[in-house]
Amino acid sequence: MEAVNPATEERIASYEEHDADDVEAALEAAHRSFEEWREYPLRERERLLENVAAVLREDQRRYAELMTAEMGKPLSQATAEIEKCAWACEHYAEHAHSYLSDEHHPSPPGTEARTVYEPLGPVLAVMPWNYPFWQVIRFAAPYLTAGNVGLLKHASNVPGCALALEELFERAGYPDGVFRTLLIGSNRVDDVLSDDRVRAATLTGSGPAGRAVAETAGRQLKKTVLELGGSDPFVVLDDADLEAAVETGVRARTQNGGQSCIAAKRFLVHEAVYDEYVDRLVDAFEGLTVGDPMDETTDVGPQADAKLMTELHEQVRRSVDAGATVLTGGEPLDGTGAYYPPTVLANVPNGCPVDVEETFGPVATVYEVEDERDAIETANDTRFGLGASIWTEDRERGRRVAGELDAGCVYVNELVKSDPRVPFGGITDSGYGRELSRAGMLEFVNRKTVWVE
């Protein structure tokens, strides 16, 4: 398993995959440690999570540079990712008691009826490369604190991050076996998930990967949470603050090199402001600094690897062949590294790749819509349903339009984001279940009813 720097195309390091004996040892350690870990007082589990936050901040620079080297995220954004991870740990350390408190129900006089929340056991997490620390922390912080144990199968292009995360929990004082990394390929996930010692699974990734995990888990009646792809609409209505909608829209489409499920991908702009908005958007895209991700001034680094960039460009090329117009960008940059420029496409034909597929890179599509109803119908014309963003100066109008959009989360005058304080997840081809907040913490617990006469 090799880590290759996508900015320089140089090999960073090689890692030996875990063999069958290594995986068996990790599964057995997870199984054994769960029986002990579930009995830890919740306050002790919260204290250990506070330790994780402290270690993250102590080694913030090292972790950020590791991310940047392995998958190309600009260093300033990698640093912000580590800070967000620490914040999430502190959030659950503070609120886990409240989230996991017993729920009391009406019952006859002299009786007591309540729901208690008990952990399920080892949870397999199949995680992607685009947010190599955040994706893992947002599963581990709530699920481990609820008393489960974690087995991480990380993306194969970020093995250094995967091992650093295991080390992170060790340094924080977690017992052996509570969090383990499995350096295995995707072809071995099915065998791990099928093992009786694994009780549930969570996956963030592609639709095919999610379906494969859901199928295996479903045969064995194991709980799953899936966060899959997205083609999020960014709706700019005629009364929007255009300056704010441009500034946030650029960030929503291009941060992390555009490699985000919840990135703004389809910009649906009211005809009354379409020309002005698109001109401003293109100017802002062209003003971004594309370059060395280790440079603090870089806005957009390379794509995570050359193959991913080639796939993105093929989507653009086929869409242009179908009739889409390139307003800026549209061709891989010359030189070393998997660099793709911030790109804006207009006149996008129905059914072309950038219209119906998820684009995982800094490519924005712009659509002119006649009115609010047209915006809603166009926004919902997708098989995805992860997030949506609406821009209007009328908050009540924003609430009304939000109610008509088919998505797991809708933000008015803000970009779509994952925040530990609120539930996060999608519908339809964007997956099911929720992460974060109390709702996410309760996904992998036994909601046990206890009735006492």
pLDDT of residue 283: 98
Instruction: Let me know: does 410 contact 402? Beta carbons within 8 Å.
Output: yes
Q: Would you state the structure tokens that stand for residue 156, as one six-digit string?
A: 């194969």
Buried b (16+ CB within 10 A) or exposed e, 74-98: bbbbbbbbbebbbbbbbbbbebbee
What pLDDT was estimated at residue 407?
98
Neighbours of 275 (CB within 10 A): 11
Question: What pLDDT was estimated at residue 277?
Answer: 98
- Catalytic residue flag (residue 85): no
Please choose, from the candidates 231, 240, 263, 251, the residue with its C-alpha nearest in 3D space to the C-alpha of residue 412: 240
pLDDT at 91: 98
Q: Which domains does the chain have, with CATH numbers?
A: 2-228+428-452 (3.40.605.10), 232-412 (3.40.309.10)
Confirm whether 352 is a catalytic residue.
no
In DSSP terms, 118 is beta-bridged to 446
What's the token pair of residue 192?
Answer: 């791990």
pLDDT in tens, the chain (453 residues): 999 999 999 999 999 999 999 999 999 999 999 999 999 999 999 999 999 999 999 999 999 999 999 999 999 999 999 999 999 999 999 999 999 999 999 999 999 999 999 999 999 999 999 999 999 999 999 999 999 999 999 999 999 999 999 999 999 999 999 999 999 999 999 999 999 999 999 999 999 999 999 999 999 999 999 999 999 999 999 999 999 999 999 999 999 999 999 999 999 999 999 999 999 999 999 999 999 999 999 999 999 999 999 999 999 999 999 999 999 999 999 999 999 999 999 999 999 999 999 999 999 999 999 999 999 999 999 999 999 999 999 999 999 999 999 999 999 999 999 999 999 999 999 999 999 999 999 999 999 999 999
> How far is residue 304's CA from residue 301's CA, in Å, rounded to a whole number?
9
Instruction: Tell me if 150 sits within 8 A of 139, measured CB to CB.
Output: yes
- The pLDDT, as a whole number, for residue 189 is 98
Task: Kindly name the residue from 85, 261, 352, 409 that is annotated as catalytic.
Answer: 261
Q: Is the dihedral angle over the CA atoms 286, 411, 425, 428 positive or is it negative? A: negative
Q: What does the chain come to in residues?
A: 453
Catalytically annotated residue among 46, 227, 368, 443: 227
Q: What's the first-to-final CA gap in the chain, in angstroms? A: 58
